């Protein structure tokens, strides 16, 4: 049983190891205007050893944010542009014949980095998408008969366009489920866009990702500190009632009637939809809610998880793990609406 003394000890550890959070966010903010929620989710994924699926229109600084965050933690960044003619060897690497030695030597691909940006991941066919599965789940890559461990930290950040469907290959549910978050990246506010206009709309020779003052992004955190912080995140206390709340939320996606959850059309709410969920959250959803809630508490310098932490990260954890029925689609009820109604109706401890 966790005692008050244990919690006080963990609180001291959290305060000490989370001291870099504001400094890191400030450094990223020198280049990226707005997108604080995106940076927040990327940090949680980094601390929880997870991956992130980013969905949003082009030009919303998704790539810039990922590259800047990697620079700020002194980590290796790699970007892979997924296209229909891409091959698995273009991602993980292949064996090259050495004429002089008359042997095959492994040539590592761009997946060997700390931050791997899979840009427009749904542009490539399934055999290329599956090349990331072993890397995402096992943190290793097999080339020929040799298995190579990946770096630590290792985070896959995949982007996809929510509008354009022609010439794309939807990700299989088994791979989507391996992403800790699916983050919907929105447009900046008017004030934020004015700042972007004032600082970025210049025809000069500054390198991509440079700060408005022309300087480069400084490395304010080392990967060692990230690994040490990850160990502290694991020790953050979660009360039994919060665990039960997480279980209720996930099971409500599988059996809504058992938790007296009903779904209504997103318009005026008068149309009740009998069956809205085709497939609910898997056990990975339960684990993801728990670890991501701990990461959210860590960023707030707390040694314990509250229901508000679960509610804050819940939509990003669950939206890609729920498949809606045809009936729900006909009423324009999306997985986002379903998750919101579940959180509104499941009792909070």
Q: Answer yes or no: are the C-beta atoms of 126 and 169 closer than 8 Å.
A: yes
Is the pLDDT assigned to residue 316 strictly greater than 90?
Answer: yes
For residue 1, the model assigns a pLDDT of: 45
For residue 106, the model assigns a pLDDT of: 83
Query: By CB neighbour count within 10 A (0-12 exposed, 13-18 middle, 19+ buried), where does 255 fall?
Result: exposed
Is the pLDDT assigned to residue 10 strictly greater than 60?
Answer: yes
CA 37, 40, 44 angle in degrees (round to 5)? Answer: 140
Query: Strand 146-149 to strand 272-273: parallel, antiparallel, or no bridges (unpaired)?
Result: unpaired
Which of 3-7, 60-64, 209-213 shows the highest mean pLDDT?
A: 60-64
Could you tell me if residue 214 is left (phi over 0), alpha (psi between -120 and 50 degrees) or otherwise beta?
Answer: left
pLDDT digits (tens, 9 = 90+) for 39-86: 899 999 999 999 999 988 878 788 888 899 998 998 899 999 988 888
Q: What is the DSSP string of 187-246?
A: PPPHHHHHHHHHHH---S-PPTT--TTSPPPP--S-HHHHHHHHHHHHT-B--HHHHHHH
| Residue that has been written with the tokens 């699926």 in this structure | 53
Q: Rounded distance, CA 31 to CA 220, Å?
A: 14
pLDDT band at 187 (very low <50, low <70, confident <90, very high): confident
Q: Rounded distance, CA 62 to CA 119, Å?
A: 9
For residue 166, the model assigns a pLDDT of: 66
For residue 126, the model assigns a pLDDT of: 84
What is the CATH architecture assignment of 4-232?
3-Layer(aba) Sandwich (3.40)
Lowest-pLDDT range of 21-35, 99-113, 192-206: 192-206
Is the pLDDT assigned to residue 94 strictly greater than 70?
Answer: yes
Is the pLDDT assigned to residue 230 strictly greater than 80?
Answer: yes
For the record, the structure tokens of 216 come out as: 């480069």
pLDDT digits (tens, 9 = 90+) for 118-128: 988 888 888 88
Query: Strand 181-184 to strand 115-119: parallel, antiparallel, or no bridges (unpaired)?
Result: unpaired
The mean pLDDT of 246-269, rounded to a whole number, is 85
Which residues does 327 contact at the CB level (< 8 Å), separation at least 6?
273, 274, 275, 276
For residue 208, the model assigns a pLDDT of: 55
- The residues spanned by each domain of the chain are 4-232, 237-345
What mean pLDDT, rounded, does the chain reach? 85
Fold agreement (4-232, 237-345): no
Q: Rounded distance, CA 148 to CA 94, Å?
A: 12
Is the pLDDT assigned to residue 205 strictly greater than 60?
Answer: no
Q: For residue 56, is the peptide bond before it cis, meaning its omega torsion is within 30 degrees of 0?
A: no
pLDDT band at 253 (very low <50, low <70, confident <90, very high): very high
For residue 245, the model assigns a pLDDT of: 95
Proportion of the chain above pLDDT 70, given as a percent: 91
Region 237-345: CATH code:
1.10.8.80
The mean pLDDT of 210-223, rounded to a whole number, is 71
Is the pLDDT assigned to residue 207 strictly greater than 70?
Answer: no
For residue 142, the model assigns a pLDDT of: 85
Q: Rounded distance, CA 249 to CA 313, Å?
A: 13
pLDDT band at 143 (very low <50, low <70, confident <90, very high): confident
The mean pLDDT of 6-15, rounded to a whole number, is 87
The mean pLDDT of 186-206, rounded to a whole number, is 75
Alpha carbon 324 to its chain's center: 22
């Amino acid at each position: 049983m966790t005692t008050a003394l244990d919690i006080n000890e963990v609180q001291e550890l959290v305060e000490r190891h989370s001291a870099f959070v504001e400094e890191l966010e400030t450094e990223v903010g020198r280049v990226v205007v707005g997108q604080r929620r995106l940076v927040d989710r990327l940090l949680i994924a980094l601390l929880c050893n997870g991956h992130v699926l980013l969905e949003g229109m082009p030009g919303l600084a998704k790539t810039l944010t990922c590259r800047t965050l990697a620079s700020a933690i002194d980590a290796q960044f790699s970007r892979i542009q997924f296209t229909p003619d891409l091959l698995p060897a273009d991602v993980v690497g292949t064996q090259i014949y050495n004429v002089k030695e008359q042997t095959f030597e492994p040539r590592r691909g761009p997946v060997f980095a700390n931050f791997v940006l899979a840009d427009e991941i749904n542009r490539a066919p399934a055999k290329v998408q599956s090349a990331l599965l072993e890397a995402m789940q096992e943190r290793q890559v097999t080339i020929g008969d040799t298995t190579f461990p990946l770096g630590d930290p290792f985070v896959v950040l995949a982007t996809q366009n929510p509008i354009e469907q022609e010439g794309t290959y939807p990700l299989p549910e088994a791979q989507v489920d391996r992403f800790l978050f699916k983050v919907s990246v929105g447009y900046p506010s008017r004030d934020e866009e004015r700042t972007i206009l004032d600082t970025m709309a210049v025809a000069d020779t500054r390198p991509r990702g440079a700060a408005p003052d022309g300087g480069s992004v400084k490395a304010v955190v080392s990967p060692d500190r990230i690994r040490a912080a990850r160990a502290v995140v694991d020790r953050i206390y979660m009360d039994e009632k919060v665990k039960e709340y997480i279980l209720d939320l996930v099971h409500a996606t599988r059996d809504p009637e058992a938790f007296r959850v009903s779904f209504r059309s997103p318009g005026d709410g008068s149309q009740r939809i009998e069956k809205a969920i085709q497939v609910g959250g898997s056990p990975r959803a339960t684990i993801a809610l728990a670890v991501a809630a701990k990461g959210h508490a860590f960023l707030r310098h707390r040694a314990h998880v509250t229901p508000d932490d679960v509610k804050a990260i819940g939509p990003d954890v669950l939206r890609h793990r729920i498949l809606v029925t045809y009936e729900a689609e006909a009423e324009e009820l999306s997985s986002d609406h379903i998750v919101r109604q579940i959180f509104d109706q499941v009792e909070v401890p």
